[in-house]
Chains A and B, each alone.
Chain A
Amino acid sequence: MSLAWLLRRLLLMVYTVVIVSVLVFAITQALPADAAQTLLGENASPEALAAVRTRLGLDDPVWLQFAHWVTRAATGNFGVSMRTGLPVAPEMLTALSRSLLLAASALVVTLVIAVPLGIFAALRQGRAADTMTSIIAYLGVSLPEFVTATALALLLTDILPWLPATGYVSPLEDSGLALRHLALPILTVSVILIAHVMRMMRSETLDVLQSDYVRAARLKGLPERTVLVRHVMRNALLPVITIVALDVGYLLGGIIVIEEIFAIPGIGRALMIAITTRDLPSIQAGAMIMAVTYAITNTLADVVYALLDRRIRYD
């Protein structure tokens, strides 16, 4: 991996973010929401509305509004919330940090379980153990999130009262309690993702096990464990990295149902509230922060991939 490649990849990420910013701004322009009306309420006088519009620059041409917005956004200033009057960026970043904590923990749990399980299933291909893991995995992925969440919550808070049902505690305050609160949502998300990653890992492992170089490694007399870890797992993991990076997108935006069920004030939930209250600055900030996080994750995945597979050059 060359420095030039890395720079090109970073430039590509910046492109993506710029395009997303145009889209986000365009969409919030198209929303049937008048910022002045939202601010002043239903009964505001036309004069007051006009004054607020001038103050917010809403009468300027769209491109000028965009230029203003984008220069401020680039320094992390997305304006103040129309709902609370507080700056939106810190609020959204806090929400993001909670979602990231959930996403990262769920990802770790998923990988720790799914990767060995996928290899195991591949080694037992066609036998009972393979079929059983596949059935359980498919069950996990085919049930809707709210069913899985409800079933797990019933089991672990009601039938076996081990965990608190809902709520969020910051790990900075009480890490033990925070973990107990996060356990259920992590479990729910993992159940869904494990099937995905495990099936991918299984089929990739099967492919790699068939390869000439694995046969060559065995016939060199390497112990089976070395063959599996050094020659099989490394190559089978490569496509899985790409899949996992895509799953991060789901984890950031798509787990709103889970955030709702377990009352976690994450970015999905914050964005939902912003949309229902037509809080334009919050919508813009939330969407942009999610897009940037997603772009960074995918860039990271590409870099990791290129480090593991030196054939990748993209030139």
Chain B
Amino acid sequence: MTAALTITNYGLDYATAAGAVAVLRDISLEIAPGEVLGLVGESGSGKSSLAWALMRHLPANAREVSGALRLGDVDLQALGPKQLSTLRGRRIGMVFQDPSTALNPTLTIGRQITEALMRHRELNARAARDLAVELLGHVDLRNPAAILRRYPHEISGGEKQRVIIATAFGCRPDVILFDEPTTALDVITGARIIELFARLRAETGVAALYISHDLGMMTRVADRVAVIRHGRVVEQAKAFEIFRRPQHDYTRSLIAAVPRPERRLVHDRPGEAVLLEARGIDVHYGRAGLFHAAPPPATKAVDIDIRAGEIVGLVGESGSGKSSVARALTGLARFDGAIRFDGRTLHGAGDMSPAYRRDVQIVFQHPDSSLNPRHRIGEILSRPLKLYGGDVASVPRLLEQVRLPASYATRWPHQLSGGEKQRVAIARAFAARPRLVICDEITAPLDVSVQAQIIALLLRLRAETGAAYLFITHDLNLIRQIAHRIVVMRQGQLVDSRAVDAFGAEDVHPYTSELMAASPVPVS
């Protein structure tokens, strides 16, 4: 039987000012009809470039240096623009990483589904609409007819991804490429999308190439897994075997980086003294205007205690108010309630003394936007040193502390990788010699292996300085490795708070057990 998708000895370069950069080399992969092949690799490994090559949507500077791409018996590289546009969507579909940007904000959901159905299923507008209602119902969206009339901003991220999946499956393609379809979603929503994918593939028998950086998740979605590194496939195996018997060192390091709650990385106990005591924190955004009332508070009466040297995990899905708590504690958001720190009680950002602001530092999720692109690394690090009376000459020491070469002081942020930028952001927080560092989803944009390095760095810095962490994340497996205590937030309220070893207890909040169910550990 012909394979659904065949990649033979494929090589790809990007032409740059500095010469050709090899992106993919000697890639040979085959996907049988109805099979799901997982492609795992870190950012920059070339896995997305392979997807763009298959969709024939390569950037202008791409040069295909070798090999062949075949969809069934069609030679993809030989297709002209016209043949390509009849083949895309119809025979090879794609589901994108970020559903919030993949839908056109000015067109209704209905329009964006039916335009594909009308083109590829040769339906008239009415029949396409009826089919769209049926398809949306089939991906478990309630009231599909109403959703068709909505605009993308009127539905949630998970619903958007369901719409995109319904569109892709609706044209009945032979192969669908999934490019990290759950990365931009929170844990529970992502888990539901994976369930949906499993059901639809069983029903339709579609073949799929499923791209992800998360090897743990692959064991649940793919039949076979290919591991790609620096543009080369280093290992291919059955999904259930790769965890048990990894052959390549790189695969082993990827497996080691997958967070597992039973593998604790912190063994000490926190001090008894309470460092920060927050009571009844209500965070407000916006004020009442001439024509409208103030929006409801983003958090409601949140109480949090953090002891000296303690690691507190703060988990919850997006929109639960986790980041709002961080913004209140650092004086970035207006709040009601009280914060007790170091024997003083603060009732608002105006009460925060320079000493408090020095003691409580924050590291943000996206180093790209938290590091000023017009400042060199040395400048970025010397700012807090000057502000808090440190010695500017200690910049090299700070860089060394986060395992970056001292020569990086003269570099610009854009010359660094994502992980390196996050190290700089961490160094900037520690330049103030804080007693509490708030980490707001700081590993979410990073690969699993880089995440493991950043966590190791944070734990070492804590051992050296005795700082406490409030670690905000949606990754329950990760936080159970490092936190002493975990608090769970939902819809602005704190619903659960317990020591990490009491997490398996029976009296956990129903929402906490739902979160745990959505974060299964890898099959092994």
Chain B residue at smallest Cβ distance from A309: B106
Question: Per-position contact with B for A104-120: 1 when CB-CB < 8 Å, else 0?
Answer: 00000000000000000
Question: Per-position contact with B for A297-308: 1 when CB-CB < 8 Å, else 0?
Answer: 000000000001
Q: Which of B89, B164, B167 gathers the greatest number of chain A CB atoms within 10 Å? A: B89
B96 adjacent to A212 (CB under 8 Å): yes
Chain B residue at smallest Cβ distance from A227: B85
A222–B114 alpha-carbon span in the complex (Å): 11
Contacts of A230 in B (CB 8 A): 107, 115
A217 on interface, CB distance cutoff 8 Å: yes
Binds A, one of B97-105, B373-381, B422-430: B97-105
B357 on interface, CB distance cutoff 8 Å: no
Contacts of A308 in B (CB 8 A): 106
A211 on interface, CB distance cutoff 8 Å: yes
The contact of A216 among B103, B120, B151, by CB within 8 Å, is B103
Interface positions of A from 213 to 253, Cβ below 8 Å from B: 213-224, 226, 230-231, 234-235, 238
B86 adjacent to A216 (CB under 8 Å): no
Question: Per-position contact with A for B86-123: 1 when CB-CB < 8 Å, else 0?
Answer: 11111001101010011111110000000110011000
The contact of B167 among A214, A220, A231, A315, by CB within 8 Å, is A220
Given A8-B291, A219-B94: A226 and B115 interface contact (C-beta under 8 Å): yes
Contacts of B106 in A (CB 8 A): 234-235, 238, 308-310
Given A8-B291, A230-B115: A224 and B85 interface contact (C-beta under 8 Å): yes
- How near does chain A come to B184, taking the closest CB pair, in angstroms? 11
Given A8-B291, A221-B85, A315-B291: A216 and B57 interface contact (C-beta under 8 Å): no
Question: Per-position contact with A for B270-304: 1 when CB-CB < 8 Å, else 0?
Answer: 00000000000000000000011000000000000
Given A212-B98, A221-B85, A231-B104: A310 and B151 interface contact (C-beta under 8 Å): yes
A55 on interface, CB distance cutoff 8 Å: no
B104 adjacent to A221 (CB under 8 Å): no
- How near does chain A come to B136, taking the closest CB pair, in angstroms? 16
B81 adjacent to A224 (CB under 8 Å): yes
B102 adjacent to A220 (CB under 8 Å): no
Contacts of A211 in B (CB 8 A): 101
Chain B residue at smallest Cβ distance from A226: B115
A238–B119 alpha-carbon span in the complex (Å): 27
Contacts of B191 in A (CB 8 A): none
- How near does chain A come to B139, taking the closest CB pair, in angstroms? 17
B3 on interface, CB distance cutoff 8 Å: no
A311 adjacent to B105 (CB under 8 Å): yes
A235 adjacent to B119 (CB under 8 Å): no
Chain A residue at smallest Cβ distance from B150: A310
Interface positions of B from 113 to 154, Cβ below 8 Å from A: 115-116, 119-120, 151, 153-154
Contacts of B171 in A (CB 8 A): 221
Chain A residue at smallest Cβ distance from B113: A220
Question: Per-position contact with A for B66-91: 1 when CB-CB < 8 Å, else 0?
Answer: 00000000000000010001111110
Chain B residue at smallest Cβ distance from A234: B106
A222–B171 alpha-carbon span in the complex (Å): 12
Contacts of A218 in B (CB 8 A): 57, 85, 88
B102 adjacent to A223 (CB under 8 Å): no
B103 adjacent to A221 (CB under 8 Å): no
Give the number of residues in A that approach B within 8 Å (Cβ atoms): 26
- How near does chain A come to B111, taking the closest CB pair, in angstroms? 8
A222–B89 alpha-carbon span in the complex (Å): 8
Contacts of B164 in A (CB 8 A): 216
Contacts of A223 in B (CB 8 A): 85, 119
A290–B513 alpha-carbon span in the complex (Å): 66
Give the number of residues in B that approach A within 8 Å (Cβ atoms): 32
Contacts of B102 in A (CB 8 A): 212-213, 215-216
- How near does chain A come to B8, taking the closest CB pair, in angstroms? 23
Q: Which of A8, A213, A220 gathers the greatest number of chain B CB atoms within 10 Å? A: A220
A221 adjacent to B105 (CB under 8 Å): no
Contacts of A220 in B (CB 8 A): 88-89, 93, 115-116, 119, 167
Contacts of B85 in A (CB 8 A): 218, 221-224
A221 adjacent to B89 (CB under 8 Å): yes
Given A224-B81, A226-B115, A311-B151: A219 and B103 interface contact (C-beta under 8 Å): no
- How near does chain A come to B25, taking the closest CB pair, in angstroms? 25
Identify whether the interface residues of A are mostly helix, strand, loop, or mixed: helix
B94 adjacent to A309 (CB under 8 Å): no
B55 on interface, CB distance cutoff 8 Å: yes
Chain A residue at smallest Cβ distance from B111: A230
Contacts of A231 in B (CB 8 A): 104, 107
The contact of B104 among A8, A217, A224, A315, by CB within 8 Å, is A217
A238–B98 alpha-carbon span in the complex (Å): 23
Chain A residue at smallest Cβ distance from B104: A213
A21–B57 alpha-carbon span in the complex (Å): 57
Chain A residue at smallest Cβ distance from B51: A219
B120 adjacent to A221 (CB under 8 Å): yes
Contacts of A217 in B (CB 8 A): 104
Question: Per-position contact with B for A62-97: 1 when CB-CB < 8 Å, else 0?
Answer: 000000000000000000000000000000000000
- How near does chain A come to B53, taking the closest CB pair, in angstroms? 13
Q: Which of B86, B87, B103, B104 gathers the greatest number of chain A CB atoms within 10 Å? A: B104
- How near does chain B come to A7, taking the closest CB pair, in angstroms? 10
Contacts of A234 in B (CB 8 A): 106-107
B96 adjacent to A216 (CB under 8 Å): yes
- How near does chain B come to A137, taking the closest CB pair, in angstroms? 25
Contacts of B116 in A (CB 8 A): 220-222
A224–B57 alpha-carbon span in the complex (Å): 13
Contacts of B154 in A (CB 8 A): 310
A221 adjacent to B90 (CB under 8 Å): yes
Q: Which of A8, A214, A216, A311 gathers the greatest number of chain B CB atoms within 10 Å? A: A216
A215–B107 alpha-carbon span in the complex (Å): 15
Contacts of A221 in B (CB 8 A): 85-90, 116, 119-120, 171
B101 adjacent to A213 (CB under 8 Å): yes
Given A218-B57, A315-B291: A310 and B104 interface contact (C-beta under 8 Å): no
Contacts of A235 in B (CB 8 A): 104-106
- How near does chain B come to A178, taking the closest CB pair, in angstroms? 38
A119–B97 alpha-carbon span in the complex (Å): 28
A212 adjacent to B115 (CB under 8 Å): no
Chain A residue at smallest Cβ distance from B57: A219
B115 adjacent to A222 (CB under 8 Å): yes
A230–B106 alpha-carbon span in the complex (Å): 10
The contact of A311 among B55, B57, B153, by CB within 8 Å, is B153
Contacts of B96 in A (CB 8 A): 212, 216
Chain A residue at smallest Cβ distance from B151: A310
Contacts of B119 in A (CB 8 A): 220-223
A219 adjacent to B107 (CB under 8 Å): no
A211–B103 alpha-carbon span in the complex (Å): 10
A224–B106 alpha-carbon span in the complex (Å): 18
A199–B55 alpha-carbon span in the complex (Å): 32
A296–B86 alpha-carbon span in the complex (Å): 46
- How near does chain B come to A16, taking the closest CB pair, in angstroms? 15
Given A218-B88, A222-B115: A213 and B291 interface contact (C-beta under 8 Å): no
Task: Please name the 3 residue pairs, one residue from A and one from B, whose CB atoms are nearest each other, closest first.
Answer: A221-B89, A221-B88, A212-B101
21 CB < 8 A contacts A-B: A213-B105, A216-B102, A217-B104, A218-B57, A219-B88, A219-B93, A220-B88, A220-B116, A221-B85, A221-B89, A221-B90, A230-B115, A231-B104, A235-B104, A235-B105, A308-B106, A310-B105, A310-B151, A311-B105, A311-B151, A311-B153
Given contacts A309-B106, A310-B105, 13 further A-B contacts (CB under 8 A): A212-B96, A216-B102, A220-B88, A220-B93, A220-B115, A220-B119, A222-B115, A223-B119, A226-B115, A234-B107, A309-B105, A310-B153, A315-B291
